[in-house]
Amino acid sequence: MNQTLSEVPIIRRPWLWVAALILYGLALNLVFIGSSPLGSHEALAAERSREMVTLGHWTVPHLDGQPDVRKPPLPFVFTGLLAAAASGFTETTVRAPSALAALGIALLLMFWVRRMFGWRPALLTAFVALTSAGFIGWGRRGEVDMQVAFWTTATLLSYWMVVTETGFARRAAFFVIMSLSLAAGVLTKGPLTPATLVVTSLALAVAGESGRRGWRALWPMIAGGFVSIALVAPWVFAMVQAQPDAWNVWYLEYIGRAGGAIGHDKPWHFYLTRTPAQLWGLWAIFVLLGAFLAIRYRQLPRGLAVFLLAWGLGAELLLSFSVGKRIHYAMGAQPPFLFLAGWALDRVISAPPGDWFYRFRRPVVWGVGVYAVLALVGVTVYTGIFLSKPDPAENQSVVGQYIAREVPAADTVASYRGVGAVEVFYARRFIPVVEQNDLTAWRDQHPGGYLIVGVMQIPELWTAHGPWQVIAPPGWQSGASKAQAILLRVPPK
């Protein structure tokens, strides 16, 4: 078991394998990606992108026609450009950036591993990443977390190359890539990418290999930070100009979230205990095996082991200090764990006769092949058959599509006590909110107007403000969800 990975495996025609991997990743991530309606968080991101295109404000995101400085603009720019190129916003164009980001992370890991260990470990690492539970789940959702993970991966891998390369030209090129990726991470989801870089570089400066500690590990982070600040500054000025209290909004969005002001309260060990099942999936055993071989038997160089563990565990521990936790916040911390899984998988597959792992070679090879087929078939069947069926508890998209299709633009549409992002996105129009105290006046002023309400609110509205014409659009199904939407119409005079 004390064998090191010193020999570089030879793979014939590696670019054919790379092409096959890309095709597999596209099939895994893009097939039937638009078969189900957008969820609420997906619709929020999609609506910001739609308003960015509609209003022409590419620097400051807008929501309901108003500046929304809570979120940086870069992921909405990508979605907006893709939708403009594809002639419209659909479920596919909204989710495609996440799918491409997942494939991009796999390719980044592949080329990085190839430089150190050769093609076979590189291809296996990329395959592990594509078929991990987190990548399959969040690579097919129209939220920004997979894009954050991509920029974090690009930042950390290029940082490693700056620290380890010897030639000035290569180090300068990777420093530029690191700085650009760091700025892009900030413009995607705020401080998560730079925080991960700081934790990793500090660990490498203290515990890395001789010659790569101290200032050599710290200067790329410090200098890259100044460059990224210069790149991000124009966006900050634009946000403050659009909304003078932007600093207070950011404080609540990031510091307040860490303190639990926005909800999603979880125990401190949430990420450490949930990551194996929810983000690694079946590769968890190989992640643990890779960590065991790297730490116990030192089969990875010390600096590389410190880098990987500081990136993965350091980022998850940093996130653990936040009271508000959601599992996809940790997507940017997963690439080093997935590398350990791919490296350990290659360690088993390449074990020579007499090695303790040799007995597992054949079943592991067969298992990987079977899993590759089952993952692709399972995702295709699940998304193409089960997710494509309407959920009776989620009718927001049906209501929104009905408004876009049947309600003339001149007719008034409002929402009672809060509008859902799904209805707004599918309705393709701004929908104002009517509060309870203003409802009587709104009825009098808008005969024939439409009101989006929750099904559970109908008895209250009928008693106090009736009568109404209830409109259940085609495809609408009765369900028990409190969030289920339906359309009411004020009887025309």
Amino acid occupying residue 328: H
Q: Which residues pair with 287 in a beta bridge?
A: none
Per-residue confidence (pLDDT) for residue 3, from 0 to 100: 43
381 located within any domain: yes
CA neighbours closer than 13 Å in the CB half-sphere of residue 454: 12
Asked if residue 391 belongs to a domain, the reply is: no
Are 184 and 74 in contact by the 8 Å Cβ rule? The answer is yes
Residue-level pLDDT at 64: 81
d(CA 290, CA 275): 16
Give the CA count within 13 Å in the CB-facing half-sphere of 266: 19
291 and 419 co-located in one domain:
no
Q: What is the DSSP string of 142-176?
A: SSSHHHHHHHHHHHHHHHHHHHH--SHHHHHHHHH
What is the torsion angle, in degrees rounded to the nearest 10, for the CA atoms of residue 136, residue 360, residue 5 and residue 158? 0
Indicate whether 369 and 426 sit together in one domain: no
Residues of the chain with pLDDT under 70: 1-10, 211, 256-264, 386-394, 419, 475, 477-483, 493
> Residue 395: is it exposed, middle or buried by C-beta count within 10 angstroms (0-12/13-18/19+)?
buried
Q: For tokens 């400085």, what's the residue?
A: 69
Domain membership flag for residue 421:
yes
- Domain closes at, from 386, 416, 448: 386
- Of 323, 356, 386, the residue at which a domain comes to its end is 386
94 is written with which tokens? Answer: 């909204």
Distance, CA of 63 to CA of 49 (rounded, Å):
9
In a domain, 9, yes or no: no
0.85 exceeded by pTM: yes
Q: Are residues 378 and 409 in the same domain?
A: no
Q: In the sheet that 413-416 helps form, which strands lie side by side, from edge to edge? A: 433-434, 413-416, 450-454, 485-489, 469-471
CB neighbour class for 146 (10 Å; exposed up to 12, middle 13-18, buried from 19):
buried
Residues 369 and 422 in one domain: no
The verdict on 97 and 134 lying in the same domain is yes
Co-location of 306 and 439 in the same domain: no
Residues 373, 467: one domain? no
User: In the prediction, which pLDDT does 5 show?
Assistant: 43
Taking alpha carbons only, the member of 188, 191, 193, 190 closest to residue 178 is 193
CB atoms within 10 A of CB 374: 12
> What are the beta bridge partners of residue 450?
413, 489
Q: Is 233 helix (H, G, I), strand (E, B) or coil?
A: helix
Token pair recorded at residue 191: 């401080």
As to burial, measured by CB atoms within 10 angstroms (0-12 exposed, 13-18 middle, 19+ buried), residue 165 is middle
Same domain, 161 and 245: yes
Domain assignment present for 5: no
For 18, the token pair is: 């790379």
Distances from the Cα of 388 to the Cαs of 135, 164, 310, 383, in angstroms? 20, 48, 41, 6
Same domain? 257 vs 144: yes
- Decide if 64 contacts 451 (C-beta within 8 A): no
Beta carbons within 8 Å of 457's beta carbon, 6+ residues apart? 416, 417
Could you tell me the residue range of the domain that residue 460 belongs to?
396-489
> In whole angstroms, what is the distance from residue 375 CA to residue 409 CA?
45
Q: Does 305 lie in the same domain as 210? A: yes
Boundary of a domain, candidates 336, 359, 386: 386
CB 75 within 8 A of CB 147: yes
Residues 132 and 35 in one domain: yes
Q: Which two tokens stand for residue 421?
A: 């992002």
* In a domain? residue 7: no
CA distance 448 to 458: 17
Residue 482 pLDDT: 53
Q: Are 317 and 466 within one domain?
A: no
DSSP element (H, E) containing 389: none
Phi, psi of 470 (to 5 degrees): -85, 130
Residue 351 lies in a domain: yes
Cβ distance 96 to 30 under 8 Å? yes
Q: Output the pLDDT for position 387.
A: 67
Domain count along the chain: 2
Q: Enumerate the β-bridge partners of residue 415.
A: 433, 452
Question: Looking at residue 391, what is its pLDDT?
Answer: 63
225, part of any domain: yes
